[in-house]
C-alpha cells in the first residue's frame, strides 16, 4: 500500500492519503483547516496536479511490482524426511 503526500491549497500543510484513493472525482478534507480539496485530472492548482501525478506514478509502480511478483516462479519448498525412517523390526 503506497501513500502520497498532499499539500493543502489553503493552509499549505502537508498530509498523506492512499494513492489508490486519489483519482479523478475524489475529495478530501484537510485535517488542519478543514477545507475540502477536490482532486481532478484537469485541475489548475499545482498542489493538486502534483498529488495526482504522484498517485498515478505510485499506482503504476504498484501494478508493475504485482505483475513481476506474479510472473516470478514460486519457490518450491524441498521436503525433508529426516528423522522419519521406517522401523525395520516392525510389520503391521
What local confidence, expressed as pLDDT, does residue 86 receive? Answer: 61
How far apart (Å, rounded) are the C-alpha atoms in residues 66 and 64? 5
pLDDT at 78: 67
Task: Per residue of the chain (92 residues), give pLDDT as tens.
Answer: 789 999 999 999 999 999 999 999 999 999 999 999 999 989 999 999 999 999 999 999 999 999 998 887 776 766 666 666 665 665 55
SS3 content of the chain, % helix, strand, coil (to 5): 30, 20, 50
Contact 40, 25 (CB under 8 A): yes
pLDDT of residue 71: 87
pLDDT value of residue 84: 61
| Pairwise CA distance, residues 61 & 4, whole Å | 13
CA 14 and chain centroid, separation: 19
Q: What does the pLDDT read at residue 16? A: 96
Amino acid at each position: 500500500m503506497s501513500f502520497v503526500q498532499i499539500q493543502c491549497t489553503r493552509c499549505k500543510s502537508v498530509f498523506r492519503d492512499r494513492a489508490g484513493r486519489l483519482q479523478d472525482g475524489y475529495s478530501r478534507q484537510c485535517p488542519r483547516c478543514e477545507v475540502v480539496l477536490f482532486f481532478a485530472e484537469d485541475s489548475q492548482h499545482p498542489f493538486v496536479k502534483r498529488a495526482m501525478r504522484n498517485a498515478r506514478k505510485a499506482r503504476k509502480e504498484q501494478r508493475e511490482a504485482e505483475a513481476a511478483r506474479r510472473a516470478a516462479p514460486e519457490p518450491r519448498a524441498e521436503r525433508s524426511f529426516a528423522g522419519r525412517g521406517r522401523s525395520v523390526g516392525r510389520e503391521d
